[in-house]
Amino acid sequence: MPILINEGTQTALTTSVNGTESIPFTKLDAGIGSARQDWNGTVPFIGNINTGTITRLGSGSIVVTGGTVNTGTIFAQILGTELEPTNRWGTVVSGTGTATGTIRPLVTGSQIFMTYAFIAGGTGTTTVTIGDGTTTVPLAGTFSFGNNGGAILSPIFPPIRTTAGSALVFKQEGTSNLSITAGGFIE
């Protein structure tokens, strides 16, 4: 309701007293256009985000109506469930002693995203590096494990990712057997 003030009359405004000052209350309006809607703690509509990042969505969904996401990627985690593209992958690879290997082969023109990894060493010591096409370009590690050591990386957020057209590889050094269970998606 608009406040009309006419000279010579009094209009009551609701205020909060802070020390010796009266501060008027401000009510947030979350309506769209000329429609009014009281603020209830949620944002029902965002007309346009030119720049910036959405980092967390507590619950609900992100819907794009009549527009597009021009650049970038939206990664969302809702109540512990990761939302990923449908082009998911998962694999188990292993090595013994000093070895190199491929966790996920390259996909021409695409990036490989790793969203989880379980790395387990056996008897003996080992170090593991995960790399982008080669382990001289490390993405994760060097992980060092003692006898029967390991690591759980889950969820990896933001995901570890290769450059477009590169394989996701590993390098192992030491005396231990090694197993890597990993997965993610390709974009």
* pLDDT, tens digit (0-9, with 9 covering 90-100), for 9-66: 666 667 777 888 777 766 666 666 666 666 666 655 555 555 555 555 555 556 555 5
Spell out a b/e string for 108-143, using b for 16 or more CB atoms within 10 Å of the CB, else e: eeebbbbbbbebbbbebebbbbbbbbebeeebbbeb
Q: What is the pLDDT of residues 62-81, one digit of tens each?
A: 655 555 555 555 554 444 44
pLDDT of residue 28: 65
Name residue 66's amino acid.
Answer: G
What structural domains and CATH numbers belong to the chain? 88-186 (2.60.120)
Q: What is the pLDDT of residues 170-184, one digit of tens each?
A: 999 888 888 999 999
pLDDT of residue 43: 58
Q: What is the pLDDT of residues 103-151, one digit of tens each?
A: 999 999 999 999 999 999 888 888 899 999 988 888 987 888 888 888 8
Confidence check: pLDDT of 162 > 90: yes
